[in-house]
Amino acid sequence: MKILVVSDTHSSLRNFMRAVDIEQPDKIFHLGDAQGKEREMQTIAGVPVTIVKGNCDNDISLPRDLVEEVGSHRAFLTHGHDYGVGSNLYDLDRIIDAAKEKDCDMIFFGHTHIPILELGYKGMTIMNPGSLTSPRQKSGKYTYGILNIFENGEVESALKALK
């Protein structure tokens, strides 16, 4: 199974659809700030899309946090703004504590528009896929994450950039 992980698309579907076309995922995690395009994403992606509420989203039916089974792991999905996330690992103590309280060993968040992938930091796999519309890292590339889940339950995580 392949999961596409995106965040901070800010009502733009162009790069979202490019990433879907390239990766052909079985499922999508959107980590907030879809800004009103949630239903369209569900329809045009053609696969299940799990979306959490970002600080720029007005849809009150969206959950702020979710726990999802990802292979043999438990993943904490959130936008991150409620946990004071920043662009480096030193800003992640609150979100790590929240994930541990829910017995998760993976964290997926957005908000900063800066991609992060850390394997094993404080016992966690931590991913921020960056942004498909307004990147803030030096490279300026539109980024997203990929999770490949194998039959034995193991997960391979990667960050990718659109070309």
Q: Is 69 exposed, middle or buried (0-12, 13-18, 19+ CB in 10 A)?
A: exposed
The secondary structure of 22-62 as a DSSP string is: HH--SEEEE-S--TT-HHHHHHHH-S-EEE---TT---TTS
C-alpha dihedral sign at 66, 68, 73, 77: negative
Evaluate whether 123 touches 111 at the Cβ level (below 8 Å).
no
Per-residue pLDDT of the chain (163 residues; tens, 9 = 90+): 999 999 999 999 999 999 999 999 999 999 999 998 988 998 999 999 999 999 999 999 999 999 999 999 999 999 999 999 987 777 899 999 999 999 999 999 999 999 999 999 999 999 999 999 999 999 999 999 999 999 999 999 999 999 8
Joined tokens for residue 21: 């076309």
Contacts of 14 (CB under 8 A, 6+ apart): none
Give the per-residue pLDDT at 79.
Answer: 97
Report the C-alpha gap between 163 and 157 in whole angstroms. 19
Give the per-residue pLDDT at 91.
Answer: 84
C-alpha dihedral sign at 38, 148, 119, 17: negative
| Domain ranges within the chain, ordered by starting residue | 2-161
Give the per-residue pLDDT at 24.
Answer: 98
Answering whether pTM is above 0.85, one says yes
DSSP category for residue 98: H
Give the per-residue pLDDT at 51.
Answer: 97
For the domain spanning 2-161, the CATH number is 3.60.21.10
Give the per-residue pLDDT at 159.
Answer: 98
Give the per-residue pLDDT at 88.
Answer: 73
- Pairing verdict, β 143-149 and 2-6: antiparallel
